[in-house]
C-alpha cells in the first residue's frame, strides 16, 4: 500500500445551532480550515501517531482492543469502531496529524478528526465507505463510543462539504444548498470552553424535559410542527429559565425554516441573510445564554467594520463567532483583531477527501 493523505474540513452552523441533537433541522456549512492525516504503512501491526499541533505522540497495536487514554481519544476510537464493524486491517501505520482548525472553538475540529480517522482506518483495510457510512461511523467514534451527547450535523458537514440542509424528520436527509455566500470571517475569542460536552448534555436534558411538560398541556405537541404561539399561550406569567430555553429552540426551528428558503437559490439577498444571522445570535445569547462579554465586544466591532450579520459558533460560552460581510471581510477581520480576537477569513470548504501520495 502506498502512503496516502486525508483531509477533512471543519464547519460552522449557519442556522439551527443546538438543534440537531434534539431532532430539529440544521443548516451547516463546511469551511476551508481542515484536519489532515498523512499515513505511511508499516510492516507490523503498530500504529504511531504524531499530533504535530499538540506536540504529542501515541502508539498502539492493532491485534487487540485498544484501550483509551482519555474520553476523547478519537484516533484509537476510529480503529476500534472499524474493528467492531468486522473490517480487518492488515498492517500498521505511521500517522502525522495536523490542522488549522482552532481547537475547542465551535468549528468542529473533533468531528473533522473523527471523519479523517475513519477514512484513514477504512482505507488501511481496503474498505470503500459511502458518505453516509462514513458519517455514521465517525459519529460512533466521537459520540457513541464515549457515551456523549451530540448529533451528526458536524460529521455530515465535513463529509459532504459546501452548505447543506439536514432534515431530521427523515433520519438526516441531506440536501445541498446552492447559495453563494462568499467568504466569512471567523473571530476566535481565545476563551476556552469549560465543558462543551456538559453544556450540550445540559441543554438537551433541560429542553427535552420542557418538551415533555408542554406535551402534558398540548396533547398534539410536536417539536417539529407545533406553532410557537401555541406554546407561548401556555405562559400567563414570565416564563422560567427552562421554559425560556425550550421556547428558544422552537424560535431557532422557525428561523432555520426561513433561512432554508433564503439559501435555496444561488443568488441571495445579503441583507436578509445578515438579519437572519443576527436574529439567530440574539436567540442563542438571550434564550440559551451562549455568549460572553468578549464575544459581544467582537461582534459589535464586526458590525462597526461592515458585517451584515454575526453569531456565536458551536456550543458557545467561549470559542469563536462568525461574521457575514458581503465584501467587507478584511475590514471586519481588522475590527475583530482590534477587539482582542484572532481573525480568520474563510471560504466554503470541500468535502473530505483521500488521495495517494505520489513519490
DSSP assignment, residue 63? Answer: S
pLDDT at 139: 96
Report if residue 114 sits inside a domain. yes
pLDDT at position 328 is 96
The pLDDT of residue 48: 98
| pLDDT score, position 75 | 96
Q: Which of 146, 178, 210 is a domain's end point?
A: 178
Using one digit for the tens of pLDDT, what is the confidence trace for 280-337? 999 999 999 999 999 999 999 999 999 999 999 988 888 999 999 999 999 999 999 9
Domain assignment present for 352: no
Indicate whether 172 and 240 sit together in one domain: no
Is position 218 within any domain? yes
**Is residue 77, in this structure, part of any structural domain at all?**
yes
Look at residue 36 in the predicted model and tell me its pLDDT: 98
Q: Are 318 and 189 spatial neighbours (Cβ–Cβ below 8 Å)?
A: yes
Residue 71: its pLDDT value, please?
85
What is the predicted pLDDT for the residue at 293? 96
Last residue of a domain, one of 178, 197, 218: 178
In this prediction, residue 40 carries a pLDDT of 96
Based on the structure, what is the number of domains in the chain? 2
pLDDT band at 221 (very low <50, low <70, confident <90, very high): very high
Query: Which pLDDT score, from 0 to 100, does residue 345 have?
Result: 97
pLDDT of residue 200: 86
Q: Is the pLDDT of residue 127 over 80?
A: yes
Residues 158 and 65 in one domain: yes
Based on the domain organization, do 270 and 189 belong to the same domain? yes
Quickly count: other Cβ atoms within 10 Å of residue 309's Cβ. Answer: 26
Whether residues 168 and 282 share a domain: the answer is no
pLDDT at 93: 94
On whether both 174 and 193 belong to a single domain, the answer is no
CA distances from 235 to 91, 239, 282 (A): 62, 6, 21
Q: 209 and 283: one domain? A: yes
Query: Are 165 and 253 within one domain?
Result: no
91: how many CB neighbours lie within 10 A of its CB?
15
Check whether residue 317 and residue 332 sit in a common domain: yes
From residue 55, give the alpha-carbon distance in Å to each of 58, 72, 98, 114: 11, 17, 10, 19
Its domain, for residue 65, covers 4-178
On whether both 35 and 19 belong to a single domain, the answer is yes
The per-residue pLDDT for 171 is 82
Confidence of residue 255 (pLDDT cuts 50, 70, 90): very high
CB atoms within 10 A of CB 196: 21
Question: How far from 1 is each of 39, 239, 268, CA to CA, in Å?
Answer: 10, 61, 46
Query: Does the residue 358 lie in any domain?
Result: no
Among residues 178, 203, 223, the one where a domain terminates is: 178
pLDDT band at 193 (very low <50, low <70, confident <90, very high): confident
Whether residue 355 lies inside any domain: the answer is no
User: Is residue 357 a part of any domain in this protein?
Assistant: no
Predicted confidence (pLDDT) at residue 194 exceeds the cutoff of 80 = no
Q: What is the mean pLDDT of residues 31-57?
A: 96
- Measured at the CA of 233, the angle between CA 230 and CA 239, to 5 degrees, comes to 115
Instruction: Let me know: does 30 contact 349? Beta carbons within 8 Å.
Output: yes
Angle separating helix axes 131-142 and 74-84, nearest 10 degrees = 120
Task: Report the CATH number at residue 250.
Answer: 3.30.70.890
pLDDT at 359 over 70: no
pLDDT score of 118 more than 70 = yes
Alpha helices in 218-269 (DSSP H): 228-232, 241-263
Give the confidence band of 1 by pLDDT, cuts at 50, 70, 90: confident
- Which CATH number goes with the domain that contains 44? 3.30.230.10
Do 19 and 49 sit in the same domain of this protein?
yes
Pair 157, 222 in one domain: no
Say whether pLDDT at 275 is over 80: yes
- Beta strands (DSSP E) in 71-114 are 93-99
- At residue 296, the pLDDT reads 97
Is the same domain home to 83 and 173?
Answer: yes
Q: Is residue 168 part of a domain?
A: yes
What are the two backbone dihedrals, phi and then psi, of residue 257, each rounded to the nearest 5 degrees? Answer: -65, -45
Q: If you average pLDDT over residues 125-147, what whole number do you get?
A: 94
Q: Which residue has the cell 452552523?
A: 13
Amino acid at each position: 500500500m502506498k502512503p496516502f493523505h486525508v483531509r477533512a474540513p471543519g464547519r460552522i452552523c449557519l442556522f439551527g445551532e443546538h438543534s440537531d441533537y434534539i431532532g430539529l433541522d440544521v443548516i451547516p456549512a463546511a469551511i476551508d480550515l481542515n484536519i489532515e492525516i498523512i499515513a505511511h504503512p508499516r510492516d507490523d501491526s503498530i500504529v504511531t501517531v504524531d499530533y504535530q499541533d499538540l506536540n504529542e505522540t501515541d502508539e498502539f497495536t492493532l491485534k487487540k482492543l485498544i484501550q483509551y487514554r482519555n474520553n476523547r481519544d478519537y484516533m484509537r476510537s476510529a480503529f476500534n469502531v472499524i474493528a467492531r464493524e468486522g473490517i480487518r486491517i492488515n498492517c500498521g501505520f505511521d500517522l502525522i496529524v495536523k490542522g488549522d482548525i482552532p481547537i475547542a472553538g465551535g468549528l468542529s475540529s473533533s468531528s473533522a478528526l473523527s471523519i479523517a480517522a475513519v477514512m484513514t482506518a477504512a482505507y488501511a483495510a481496503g474498505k470503500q465507505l459511502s458518505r453516509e457510512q462514513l458519517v455514521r461511523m465517525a459519529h460512533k467514534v466521537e459520540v457513541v463510543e464515549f457515551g456523549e451527547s451530540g448529533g451528526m450535523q458536524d460529521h455530515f458537514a465535513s463529509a459532504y462539504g459546501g452548505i447543506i440542509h439536514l432534515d431530521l424528520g427523515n433520519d438526516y436527509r441531506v440536501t445541498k444548498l446552492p447559495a453563494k455566500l462568499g467568504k466569512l470571517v471567523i473571530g476566535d475569542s481565545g476563551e476556552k470552553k469549560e465543558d462543551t460536552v456538559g453544556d450540550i448534555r445540559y441543554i438537551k436534558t433541560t429542553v427535552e424535559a420542557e418538551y415533555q411538560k408542554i406535551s402534558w398541556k398540548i396533547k398534539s405537541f410536536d417539536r417539529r410542527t407545533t406553532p410557537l404561539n401555541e406554546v407561548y399561550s401556555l405562559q400567563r406569567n414570565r416564563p422560567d429559565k427552562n421554559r425560556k430555553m425550550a421556547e428558544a429552540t422552537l424560535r431557532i426551528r422557525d428561523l432555520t425554516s426561513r433561512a432554508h428558503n433564503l439559501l435555496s437559490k444561488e443568488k441571495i439577498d445579503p441583507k436578509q441573510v445578515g438579519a437572519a444571522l443576527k436574529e439567530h445570535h440574539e436567540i442563542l445569547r438571550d434564550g440559551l445564554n451562549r455568549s460572553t462579554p468578549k464575544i459581544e465586544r467582537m461582534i459589535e466591532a464586526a458590525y462597526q467594520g461592515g458585517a451584515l450579520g454575526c453569531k456565536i459558533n458551536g456550543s458557545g460560552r467561549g470559542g469563536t463567532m462568525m461574521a457575514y460581510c458581503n465584501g467587507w471581510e478584511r475590514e471586519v477581520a481588522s475590527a475583530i483583531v482590534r477587539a482582542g480576537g484572532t481573525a480568520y477569513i474563510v471560504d466554503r470548504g470541500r468535502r473530505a477527501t483521500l488521495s495517494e501520495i505520489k513519490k
